[in-house]
Amino acid sequence: MSLKQEKADYILKRLEELYPETPIPLDHKDPYTLLIAVLLSAQCTDVRVNQITPKLFKMADNPKEMVKHSVKEIEDIIRPCGLSPRKSKAIHELSQILLDKHNGQVPESFEDLEELPGVGHKTASVVMAQSFGVPAFPVDTHIHRLAQRWGLTSGKNVEQTEADLKKVFPRDKWNKLHLQIIFYGREHCTARGCDGLQCDLCSSLNFLRKTPVITK
């Protein structure tokens, strides 16, 4: 067994101890509302998104109702999330596409999801994992940072990080594990609160490490 695999096995065991339950951080009631919430979370905190979506979903919580409202109406509500001109346009356009091409339903494939405006691979992965139970490993900034600090990837880009993590963690653990890593990153191994030497996992996994890790 490689050192990287030994680290991955230890991480899996420790995170399961710390986070046996993994509630989805974004409030939603179905695949459509999750899709919209994840889209809004780009460069915005989950807490802020959860403050905004009740008003948005009260106005429209499905594609048919959403397209009845103008992009400007959507933008006025989601403005606190940032990037509101782009996000509001994407929400309106993807809602129309869902009606035109998918009978008003969120499609259950990466290919169809990633064709929607404003939906990249990470957003599609979250929806596939959390709404449809398809094994996926969405890599956000927390996971990208921690994977480098833990010595599981070189961190060249999020695509490489995703591929490296999928190699060392069991497929049936991906959906829960990506949330566990996010929770740990927010609570213990933050961008400024740890440099690869401070937190429990960083110090345990790399006890010989002397210099801070510069993440990419």
Residue 81: other Cβ atoms inside 10 A? 23
Residue 106, Ramachandran bin (φ over 0: left; ψ between -120 and 50: alpha; else beta): beta
Catalytic (active site) residue 122 = yes
What is the token pair recorded at 86? 């782009």
Catalytic (active site) residue 140 = yes
Q: What does the alpha-carbon distance between residue 57 and residue 190 come to, in Å, rounded to a whole number?
A: 31
Given 112, 140, 166, 176, the catalytic residue: 140
**Catalytic positions:** 122, 140
